[in-house]
Amino acid sequence: MKNSAIAFFDEMQINSASGDEAGVREIYAAYKHWLKGVPHHQLNSKRQEAELLFRRVGITFNVYGDDDGAERLIPFDIVPRILAAKEWAKLSAGAIQRVRALNMFLHDIYHKQDIIQAGLVPASVLGNSQYRPEMFGVDVPNQIYAHIAGIDLVRTSESQFYVLEDNLRTPSGVSYMLEDRKMMMRLFPELFRRYSIAPVDHYPQVLLKNLRAVAQAGVHEPTVVVLTPGAYNSAYFEHAFLAQQMGVELVEGSDLFVRNNAVYMRTTEGPQRVDVIYRRIDDDYLDPLVFNADSMLGVPGLLSVYRDGGVTLANAVGTGVADDKATYIHVPAMIKFYLGEEPLLENVPTYELSKADDLAYTLAHLAELVVKEVQGSGGYGMLVGPAASKKELADFKERIIANPANYIAQPTLALSTCPTLVEQGIAPRHVDLRPFVLSGKTVSLVPGALCRVAMKEGSLVVNSSQGGGTKDTWVLQEAAGEAMHSASPTDATQEVSTC
């Protein structure tokens, strides 16, 4: 799909047509200078080296419904995305503000429901399939629901960022942020010597500290575990990686059991009490006694212990009601309502197709809009109007008319592009950004993010399940342009792989 009519904001070079140094954004100037001196074949061999290493370490991704590629690599791009300290400061403050408000919303919606009384969020939110009545009146430690939140951001111009969506259930991808960084440091140490790039490696430590902080009151040395659906889950690598980095057990549902209103794991020395479960299993599969009765992944009785405060789940049960696309629209209002602050990050203008006006507009302008299912994720079940064929548009129209409330529509954003290494050389590709906000004792995030890149020319879909890749994201600690100029291109050749 090509959108040649739209002028995209390229993060390296504003005026990419000119091809020379003119229009290179200052933050990229030094990198661009360095890049110019590195021959294409050398970049290619670095990319191959990265692929080999990822394969050996087993940093792989399982794609549902794909028989031949049971374990696939996510394409990794060796060109970093660079953000200035100032840009990052704004994004991180905005993300933190958003997550604070969302946690307050979740507490409110499962308690007094003030925001509905105030008329800012419609009562229909209580009928949302992600709203869990089981959670009503349940108190969770520190009133934190979304301990780990992934905030998806896109950029359309020098100063304009939008929040595309919030991920508050079991957001994934942080292992790529960490592994991509490790890889870049291995492939291009000379760039790290000269650029002052904020480190991200302490993420697992921050995560562990926050998880320990939300154990039930009175537990001094809480036992934290990571709960995974198992080795065949698409994100298993990440589950294993995080457990290892935090030094905690990686458990499956069958490793846990409930007794005397507490959760235990089966160990070689007998049962051991578990206090905090960082669960990477959806609500529906957590407890076959309450939710999906066929689930083999969960722990029978878990929810009853949880509701009585005998164990902490991170994220909490029922967070899906807050990251639903129908709720998304109200986040700016939540920020004002709960925090009394102006939102630092903007939402994408969104049409709610449950409203007659919005529906009429959307149907009339379908070819210009992006339409998403309210509860869809992973890039499935969405329509990108400008890229769709006439038949696809007609088919989708029927689906919308059949159930308008199931959809929202947004203008097709002119997503920014970043230089990316592809077959033909370095070319602009569309990117998004997912920083991970951690809440427990405090709300914070490490200076970095998962940067997803659509590897296909012109494509706006960055999801890994749809062939998207990842990039390392560099947050520069200071304007380091001058220092970078001294990095000579020949440095790249001196690095010898040791694999």
Partner 1 sequence: MLSRTADHLYWMARYIERAENMARVLDVTYNMSLVPNAAESEAALWVTALEISGNVEAYERDYFKYEDDEYTAAGVIHYLAMDSNNPSSIYNSLRSARENAHAVRVTMTSETWENINSLWLEFSQFIDQDLAKTGLREFCDWVKARSHLFRGVCFGTMLRDDAFSFVRLGTFIERADNTARLLDVKYHLLLPEQEEIGGAVDYYEWSAILRSVSAFQAYQKIYSDTIEPWRVAELLVLRRDMPRSLHACFDEITLILEQLSGARQTECKRLAGELHAKLRFGKMRSIFQHGLHEFLEDFVQANNKLGTEIHKTFFSIVAS
Inter-residue contact 320 to 168 (CB < 8 Å): yes
Position 182 contacts partner 1 (CB under 8 A): no
259 binds partner 1 (CB under 8 A): yes
Q: Which phi and psi angles does 228 have, rounded to 5°?
A: -115, 150
Token duo for residue 288: 């076959």
Q: Any bridge partners for residue 314, and if so which?
A: 278
Distance, C-alpha 475 to centroid of its chain: 17
Q: Which residue, 274 or 484, has its beta carbon nearer to partner 1?
A: 274
**Is 207 an interacting residue with respect to partner 1 (CB under 8 A)?**
no
Binding segment for partner 1 (CB under 8 A), chosen from 252-260, 280-288, 426-434, 478-486, is 252-260
Q: Which stretch binds partner 1 (CB under 8 A): 11-19, 136-144, 235-243, 351-359?
A: 235-243
Residue from 240, 262, 479, 480 in contact with partner 1 (CB under 8 A): 240
**Nearest residue (CB) to partner 1, 197 versus 274:** 274
Residue 281, CB half-sphere, CA atoms under 13 Å: how many?
28
Per-residue b or e along 54-85, where b marks 16 or more CB atoms closer than 10 Å to that residue's CB: beeeebbbbbeeeeeeeeeebbbbbbbbbbbb
The single residue listed with the structure tokens 């164990």 is: 311
Q: Please tell me whether residue 67 binds partner 1 under the rule CB under 8 A.
A: no
Is residue 55 close enough to count as binding partner 1 by CB under 8 A? yes
CB under 8 A: which stretch of 13-21, 192-200, 249-257, 449-457 binds partner 1? 249-257
Helix count and strand count (H, E) for the chain: 17, 21
CB of residue 58 to partner 1, shortest distance in Å: 5
Q: How far is the CB of 249 from partner 1 (least distance, A)?
A: 6
Using CB under 8 A, pick the residue from 93, 231, 367, 427 that binds partner 1: 231
214 by DSSP, 3-state: which? coil
For position 214 contacting partner 1 by CB under 8 A, the verdict is: no
Q: Based on CB atoms, which residue is closest to partner 1, 183 or 460?
A: 183
Place of tokens 């399940």: 465
**With respect to partner 1, which residue has the nearer C-beta, 148 or 242?**
242
From the list 18-26, 89-97, 196-204, 267-275, the region that binds partner 1 by CB under 8 A is 267-275
User: Does 270 engage in binding with partner 1 (CB under 8 A)?
Assistant: yes
Two structure tokens written together for 305? 């212990």
Rule CB under 8 A: is residue 497 a binding residue for partner 1? Answer: no
Phi, psi of 157 (to 5 degrees): -160, 180
**By CB under 8 A, is residue 57 in contact with partner 1?**
yes
Among 37, 58, 69, 378, binds partner 1 (CB under 8 A): 58
Q: Which of 487, 461, 430 is nearest to 81 (CA)?
A: 430
* DSSP bridge partners of 469: 453
String marking each residue 14-33 x if it binds partner 1 according to CB under 8 A: --------------------
Cα–Cα distance between 175 and 166 in angstroms, integer? 18
The β-bridge relationship of strands 249-251 and 224-227 is parallel
267 interacts with partner 1 by CB under 8 A: yes
Q: Does 261 bind partner 1 (CB under 8 A)?
A: no
Nearer to partner 1, 226 or 453 (CB): 226
CA gap 338, 114 in Å, rounded: 10
User: Nearest 5°: phi and psi at 104?
Assistant: -70, -35
Interface with partner 1 (CB under 8 A): 55-58, 230-231, 240-241, 243-244, 249-252, 254-255, 257, 259, 265-271
